[in-house]
Structure 1
Amino acid sequence: MQRMVLLLILVVLVGSIWSLQMDPVMGKSPVTTQENFDLKQFTGRWFEIAVVSTCPYYMQRKQRNPTIVALEVNHVPPQENFTMTASTFSNGTCRETLTDFSLTSTPGRFFHHVARFGADVDSFVVHTNYNEYALLLQLSTEKPSGNQTTIVKLYSRTVSVNLPVLEKFKELIRHHGLSEDAIIINQHEGDCFPGEQWKEAATSHQVFVHENSKLNISAKENQGDV
């Protein structure tokens, strides 16, 4: 009897390990996503307003070019993936990149692979009201080193957000052990069209926070790689 029980336990363990190896994103979600997440409502145009990460190299790269990133999310049902096109100014030129995200069994949780760094990335829409803002958490694991990185992003339907939304963003980063002092505030440099040369305006940069918030955040001038 004991031998039979041990055999059953072994079969279950082997099956679990095999499932994880075959499809690592189909396991139980380690993060709670937006309740009743609706991908259709999430599609469309977004702007990456602010970011913070545990990866020093990512932070250095973003600090060199703290520019708002325009995002276009497209999904064609019933496909099990969607694309996100990102447009931003880098080294004086508007650049565009496209990322393919795979859907998972958890609504609001997506997966993509970054070949450049050999990293598997899980993305979670933690909270969104679809027509104003979205809070995203990304958990990245590099292979074969196993190095893990946490990134928290604030998306907005416009290039400005109000204080309550900013506070939700800060609450999320504190919840995951990051410092709000490390937040990188992206600045709006104007509309970005691929291949277009960027010319710095003579006036001061526009700050992303809504004018009614009365929050003073200084713009950064450095340019660099996205």
Structure 2
Amino acid sequence: MAGVWRWMLAVLALMCVCLWSYTEAVGGAVRRPRPQRRPRKKPKVEPIDVTPPAENIDMERMTGRWYLLNTASKCSFLMNHGTKVEATVMTLTAADQQLSVSTKTRHNHQCWEILQVYHLSTPGKMTLKGTRPELNTEIVIGDTDYDNYAVMYYHKQGKITMKLYGRSVDDLSEPVLTKFEQLAEKQNFGLAYHFPFPTYSHCGDVDQDHVINCVPTC
């Protein structure tokens, strides 16, 4: 019986020596590589370059006052403050391949006017220049009937914001709202990314101290 135990101990010792030699040869214990997570696929967004402007855009007919009624965007500011947006009105004035843009809205309970210049490239396509070329905002008039509504795309640094404007603050027809939702869906903007704007309490005259030139974040 003692001989059998000695034989078993010898076999165990030999196995330990073989295992120790193997791990030394490969530099230690063998570890299985951790499985790598596949990177999430970014949602496919239709580039604004292939979002054609409405046919035969007449920039003169686009001039005048427009009320911002709805915005579709994944802009971080709207995602965090979309329920606190203020009534906004935009006035367009055309002159020499440029479009002067006046936007009036409230901030901290005061009315402000933001002045900008859109540079026309082709009818329906414009550029709002940033401090550097890569910060430019490309703007496309995607759809409009001039008298009631206009859908505009704002493209900056790979991100798109869509805005629905109306000539009045009255509720738009259901077909127009449905069209805006369908166009937004093509840019992967579901209803969770829609931010309606107030249709009341718009700013009128603004003190000169509250007139600024700047580029919006969204």
Given the two structures, how large is their TM-score scaled by the length of structure 2?
Answer: 0.67
Matches within 5 A, 1:24-35: 29-35=49-55
1:68 counterpart (84, 87, 92):
87
For structure 1, which runs of at least 5 residues remain unmatched after alignment? 1-27, 142-147, 197-224
Could you say which residue in structure 2 is the equivalent of 1:84? 101
Q: Look up the equivalent residue of 2:197 and give its one-letter code.
A: N
Could you say which residue in structure 1 is the equivalent of 2:199? 188
| Residues 64 and 93 (structure 1), Cα distance of their counterparts in 2 relative to 1, 3 Å cut | farther
1:29 deviates by 4.1
1: distance between equivalents of 2:131 and 2:114?
A: 14
Match status 1:95 vs 2:112: yes
Higher CA-based Rg: 2
1:58 deviates by 4.3
1: distance between equivalents of 2:105 and 2:77?
A: 19
2: distance between equivalents of 1:52 and 1:114?
A: 22
Could you say which residue in structure 1 is the equivalent of 2:71? 51
1: distance between equivalents of 2:57 and 2:49?
A: 14
Name the stretch that deviates more: 92-101 or 52-61: 52-61
Matches within 5 A, 1:1-226: 29-61=49-81, 63=82, 65-76=84-95, 79-104=96-121, 106-115=122-131, 119-141=135-157, 148-160=158-170, 161-193=172-204, 194-195=206-207
1: distance between equivalents of 2:53 and 2:93?
A: 20
Q: Percent of aligned positions with the same letter in both sequences?
A: 22
Deviations 1:93-122 (A, max 9, x none): 011001100000x31010012449x72111
Aligned residues of 1:47 and 1:69 also touching (Cα < 8 A): yes
1:185 deviates by 0.6
Q: Look up the equivalent residue of 1:186 and give its one-letter code.
A: F
1:183 deviates by 0.6
3-state DSSP of counterpart to 1:166: helix
3-state DSSP of counterpart to 2:136: strand
Aligned residues of 1:33 and 1:108 also touching (Cα < 8 A): yes
1: distance between equivalents of 2:166 and 2:131?
A: 27
1:30 deviates by 2.7
| Residues 110 and 68 (structure 1), Cα distance of their counterparts in 2 relative to 1, 3 Å cut | same
2: distance between equivalents of 1:30 and 1:67?
A: 31
3-state DSSP of counterpart to 2:203: coil
Deviations 1:125-147 (A, max 9, x none): 11000000001111112xxxxxx
Aligned residues of 2:74 and 2:193 also touching (Cα < 8 A): no
Aligned residues of 1:46 and 1:157 also touching (Cα < 8 A): yes
Aligned residues of 1:65 and 1:90 also touching (Cα < 8 A): no
What is the root-mean-square deviation in Å for CA atoms of aligned residues? 2.5
2: distance between equivalents of 1:49 and 1:107?
A: 23
4+ residue segments displaced more than 6 Å: none
3-state DSSP of counterpart to 1:57: helix
Q: Look up the equivalent residue of 2:199 and give its one-letter code.
A: H
Q: Look up the equivalent residue of 1:87 and give its one-letter code.
A: K
3-state DSSP of counterpart to 2:142: strand
